Structure 1
């Protein structure tokens, strides 16, 4: 493992703001950040980014932060945090998070508050700590990656949010709408531990966020050692089933008992290769990672990365317990 980067308290922190993330007011967030910096005497710059500029700007700022002993701070939802984390991981600089999304799984897993002023106070008192990240080919993911039904759900959810606003209830009703028209079955070849098999599934879901997996009941919660990073990720495959059975699984997920269902298969791994059937060639596959949907050429090399991400975590006595 590389040495943990240090933070120079006099260095300028770089806040990368996506005011379109989540349901909060971007101007209010900016004012809170500026007030916290002035109150504590810390130096910081706020960079407003459009989606088209986000990758370029974060790459430049991550390199600058590494050279000056500083950090880049993602202000937004899981998608924004993912893009900023990609740059931080590549440059080896610390990442900070001010969560402004709908579910904020990554932030909540590490005890980061979802209220802006508290998250800022935690950030300014925090120190870099290594956290586990995974990747599909070149796409790093912090929370999850998936094929099949789940990417369809994310695309539908974004359409619903654009029409009805961003809230958890809108996301839930969008999920119902997706399930009612779910018909497409995936045929995949999975290479794992030196063996390959062909499977049929509605969705292949890879979870790198223990909080999300615990809440739906796929893994047990409250690990005795309190550690959420295990060096492995969790695969969940959903067997081809009808709409009513899908709704039953959704209810199980809401009740935290999804792991007890007969219609899913789950297993943990460090590395897995996924391909379409041979007759499909190298046709692009729709992939979702941390709320973003892309199309990627197979094979898909899914793995836990050996180099961690260095996250500015709150002091232990100020970490929020995930609800």
Structure 2
């Protein structure tokens, strides 16, 4: 098997390219081209997308999401491999989390198609949110270089909770006042560590906190801890193929597969069924 390998040389958990090459060679896989995602990635990968290559992506969900953005809707095939901290996408695809084992299974697999989702035409493979989570990430990033990741995360979470901003959003013509909206690519089981059993149902799941009380938020957290979050009266959930979120602000801070950016309102979310061809 011949592949194009996309990797992230700046990731703290990244293996050296030489070691990745040896691991592939041990399973009769040849790397024709290696592309560092931090160096002119889109330009470098374009000819391989056009030729319909097998494109192996190793890294965390952010790296895999960037590769999926280029591969979806084309004849190229993405090979997602675990290489990050959480690896939600590869876990939900039931890909072995040991890299050597994941590579070893490739010869016995057939290509298949899975869904991605888009927000204002930008792909995400896992989920997107507005409100508390992206606000927390933004606050953390401002001080992380000085205090470290985890102390900064704790501080940012407390600060976001104290500020407790609300958003007035309209979904399918219904207005909600909420501090948090979560949109998932396919159905997340919020009673089971937020896992997905399928990535080919062609739907989005939407979960919203529909209370403006900090006490209600604490109750929802408590429900989540004991695994009975669906019992909360302050959580609204729905399943849809597309959803448009209107807000009074012209731009919103949005999380997408763990990365935070400002997006223009309205936010137009769509499921893109069977649009990503994968091997794994």
Instruction: Compute the TM-score of the two structures, normalised by the length of structure 1.
Output: 0.75
- Equivalent residues in 2 for 1:71-220 (5 A)? 71-156=54-139, 158=141, 173=154, 176-177=157-158, 179-190=160-171, 192=172, 196-210=173-187, 213-216=190-193
Deviations 1:231-287 (A, max 9, x none): 21110111244445434423433443222212211111111111123xx4xx22222
Gaps of 5+ in 2: none
Which ranges of 4 or more aligned residues in structure 1 deviate by more than 6 Å? Answer: 169-172
Q: Does the residue aligned with 1:132 lie in a helix, a strand or coil?
A: strand
How far residue 46 of structure 1 moved from its aligned partner, in angstroms, is: 2.3
- In the alignment, is the contact (CA less than 8 A) between 1:188 and 1:275 conserved in 2? yes
- Unaligned ranges ≥5, structure 1: 1-8, 314-323
Distance 2:273 2:240 in 1: 14
State the number of aligned residues. 279
Q: Does 1:15 align with 2:2?
A: no
Q: Which has the higher strand share?
A: 2
Matched, 1:53 2:40: yes
- Deviations along 1:150-203, one digit per CA (max 9) or x if unpaired, are 21133345567656767xx7797467435533421001122x2xxx12211001
Counterpart CA distance in 1 for 2:189 and 2:140 is 18
CA separation of 1:53 and 1:255: change in aligned 2, threshold 3 A: farther
Q: 1:216, 1:88 → 2: CA distance? A: 28
Tell me how far apart the structure 1 counterparts of residues 276 and 199 of structure 2 sit (CA, whole Å): 14
Question: CA 1:242 to 1:113, structure 2 compared with 1: closer, same or farther past 3 Å?
Answer: same
Which of 232, 238, 263 is the equivalent residue of 1:296? 263
CA shift at 1:26, angstroms?
A: 2.9
Q: Does the 8 Å CA contact 2:60/2:84 hold for their aligned counterparts?
A: yes
Corresponding residue of 2:13: 24
Q: CA separation of 1:142/1:122 partners in 2, compared to 1, >3 Å: closer, same or farther? A: same
Residue aligned with 1:204, SS: strand
Partner Cα separation in structure 2 for residue 60 and residue 40 of structure 1? 26
Q: What do you get for the CA RMSD once the two structures are aligned?
A: 2.9
Structure 1 residues 165 and 43, CA gap change in structure 2 (3 angstroms): farther
Q: 1:23-57, CA deviations, whole angstroms, 9 ceiling, x for partnerless residues?
A: 52432xx344211232233221322231x633333
